[in-house]
């Protein structure tokens, strides 16, 4: 009875949300060049803008926690970008806010896919071109793609025990052929080209495929090293000995010029205010979660799909094992391959 009541309540809230969304979208239909997502989001922003207090010179805070990927919004959650899109939108909003003079990006990530990391870096550069100072603050970790993003910022602040670095690229694929042979599973594959099933989990890769993937890895690696060299102003010949995938503590990273100073998130905020020449204590614009978004995040956590063994092996869910390349989706991963704990 209690479960039925909660399910009915959820259904009614979903229906009400659909009705409100349709009404808002119809009212904004005179602007055809905007996507439905942008129309709905901008309408909410205009409706609630009058309740936002006027601010003086401010420092905006953006958080990048967990694996960095483009994550699809689904169902009733469509109005709220997820994953890298959420980060990009947050930086863009702060860039377009005239009261924001600096942005602090708090990073606690093991890395992510190449495309999502590079798009976030592009948005950081756009903020810098708009005159905003951008500071990275490393929490527990900023591995690989997380460090790639940090290196695009004007300054990097990390705790002495923060872990960072892991400059490199990794592609991981499972080879389950022997297991399938024991079980008696056989795959019939029809493909348009020799390498269409490259990195397939039902067979071992050939030497030619291994060379192709190694070439891909080294191309992405060269992009990574070049970006860090330019962002940190470190000559490539000096950076290469450090860019073999190894990780550094905050103190080690400082000794190797991979970060600028040791400190906490508050230290990073104060540094951002100082660089932006903000007098006195700056106003902080922190990430907020809308009521509807909070509700749907709860629904996702409560009734979301539980990862199966197949999901975790094949990387078809948001799981730590997915910090790797997905060649079928043309993605390579700037990622550290294991979860690090201290």
Active site residues: 144, 196
Residue 10 three-state SS: helix
Q: 78 with 37: CB under 8 angstroms?
A: yes
Which tokens hold the place of 49? 């803008």
Query: What is the SS3 assignment for 25?
Result: helix
CA distances from 4 to 11, 138, 298 (A): 10, 45, 18
Residue appearing with tokens 């601010």: 55
Q: What does the alpha-carbon distance between residue 14 and residue 296 come to, in Å, rounded to a whole number?
A: 10
| Interacting residues of 253 by C-beta distance below 8 A, sequence separation 6+ | 158, 162, 164, 165, 259
Q: How many CB atoms lie within 10 A of CB 211?
A: 11
Q: Which residues of 257-287 are buried (b: 16+ CB within 10 A; e: fewer)?
A: ebbbebbebebbbbbbbebbebeeebbebee
């Amino acid at each position: 009875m209690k479960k039925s009541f909660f399910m009915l309540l959820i259904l009614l809230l979903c229906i009400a949300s659909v009705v409100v969304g349709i009404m808002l979208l119809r009212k904004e239909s005179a602007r055809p060049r905007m996507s439905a997502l942008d129309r709905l989001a901008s309408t909410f922003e205009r409706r609630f803008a009058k309740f936002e207090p006027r601010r003086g010179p401010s420092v905006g805070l953006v958080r990048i926690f967990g694996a960095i990927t483009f994550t699809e919004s689904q169902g009733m959650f469509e109005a709220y970008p997820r994953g890298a899109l959420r980060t990009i939108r947050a930086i863009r909003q702060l860039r377009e806010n005239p009261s924001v003079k600096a942005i602090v990006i708090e990073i606690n990530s093991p890395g992510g896919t190449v495309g999502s990391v590079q798009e976030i870096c592009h948005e950081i550069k756009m903020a810098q071109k708009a005159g905003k100072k951008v500071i990275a603050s490393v929490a527990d970790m900023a591995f690989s793609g997380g460090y790639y993003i940090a290196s695009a910022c004007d300054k990097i602040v990390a705790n002495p025990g923060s872990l960072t670095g892991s400059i490199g690229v990794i592609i991981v694929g499972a080879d389950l052929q022997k297991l399938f042979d024991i079980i008696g599973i056989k795959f019939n594959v029809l493909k348009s080209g020799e390498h269409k099933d490259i990195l397939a989990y039902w067979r071992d890769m050939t030497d030619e495929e291994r060379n192709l993937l190694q070439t891909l890895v080294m191309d992405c690696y060269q992009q990574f090293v070049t970006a860090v060299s330019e962002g940190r102003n470190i000559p490539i010949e000096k950076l290469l000995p450090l860019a073999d995938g190894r990780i550094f503590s905050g103190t080690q990273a400082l000794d190797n010029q991979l970060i600028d100073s040791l400190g906490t998130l508050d230290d990073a905020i104060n540094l951002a205010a100082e660089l932006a020449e903000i007098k006195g204590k700056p106003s902080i614009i922190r990430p907020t979660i809308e009521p509807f978004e909070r509700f749907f995040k709860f629904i996702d956590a409560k009734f979301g799909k539980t990862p199966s063994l197949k999901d975790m092996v094949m990387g078809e869910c948001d799981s730590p094992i997915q910090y790797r390349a997905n060649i079928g989706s043309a993605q390579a991963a700037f990622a550290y391959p294991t979860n690090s704990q201290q």
